[in-house]
Amino acid sequence: MREIIIDLKALKDNLKRIKSEANVPVMAIVKADAYGHGLIPCAKAAIEAGADYLGVALLEEAVALREAGINAPILAWLNPPGLEFESAVRLNIDLGVSSIAAFDEINSIPGARIHLKVETGMGRNGFSNEWVELLNRELNKVVGVMTHLARADEPSEIQNQEQLKNFDVRVAELHAKGVKPIRHISNTAATLSNAAARYDMVRVGIAMYGLSPLGRNENFKPVMKVRAKLVLVKELPAGHPIGYGATVKTDRETKIGIVGMGYADGIPRNASNVAGVTFNGESAPLIGRVSMDQFAVDLGPNSKAKSGDWVTVIGENFDAYDWAKACQTIHYEITTRMAPRIKRSYEN
């Protein structure tokens, strides 16, 4: 009674557009189950659209790609010491490294391919105080160097330029050691707004899925559509409380639709009536609190909806931007939190 429909042609078109504009190799980011869109189908579509690399956060995601028969270059970058690095190397998975401990483990494995992640101002994972010690190690397995921009979605912020300068210093230090790795720093926002940050490769995530970190005006093609059935449609009088805590009451006699999705499916509990669903082109705002498996919408007194009808939850009148605004969060969170129990189907 609920499903997610993924338009793979739209995904391919978005990636082709980005690659054409960037004019450098593209790493398609498919971490977090391809931002909730489905890891394997989206990875295959990205490769068909010309992706040069696939990028994931977790090693198990990279292994899943290999087990699915995907042979393209893959980078997994969030690696604490102690993982199954020898298996990863046998599977020809590039490994991101942010610490001496992880570097020493991986560097001892014949055939390993290492991307050093360096601290440039994000304050998250990446070499900082251990960098000088690292430079005294044997670095012949280093094939890439990377960092991450903290404010790329704010292109005018000076921190972006400061991070590029810091990155260039680290790259120069590697060059002085005879290492000339692939340089990559740009996420989607930087790829779209900062040509100077493209270096040797860009890492593209959210825009591939039809959403932009810079806002709707980028006009990428929507990839995800979420729909669910109305479990029940019923008439309620004015002043009737809705949901846990009776936080809302109907402001008139109206028809209420009970949508068969809830926070266990990824619908945020704090969603307000800024978001809602679409039935036959008409908007029905969410009303009351979201429950674990269901939420209520105000269909209006004249609605023709009936129990068992499908409504569009994400897509049509309410997209991921609208749901993010309703929940005071970002559209990345809306798509990535869509639960595995919702069936995915793929078009094109």
Residues labelled as active-site residues: 31, 244
User: H-helix or E-strand containing 252?
Assistant: none
Farthest CA pair distance, the chain: 76
Q: Which of 282, 266, 265, 283 is nearest to 274 (CA)?
A: 283
| Residue 208 contacts residue 248 (beta carbons within 8 Å) | no
**Could you give the dihedral angle defined by the CA atoms of residues 200, 205, 207 and 210, in that order, rounded to the nearest 10 degrees?**
150
Residue pair 208/38 in contact (Cβ under 8 Å)? The answer is: no
Which CA distances in Å does 280 have to 12, 256, 309, 310?
29, 16, 10, 9
- DSSP-assigned states of every residue in 156-188: T-HHHHHHHHHHHHHHHHHHHTT--PEEEEE-H
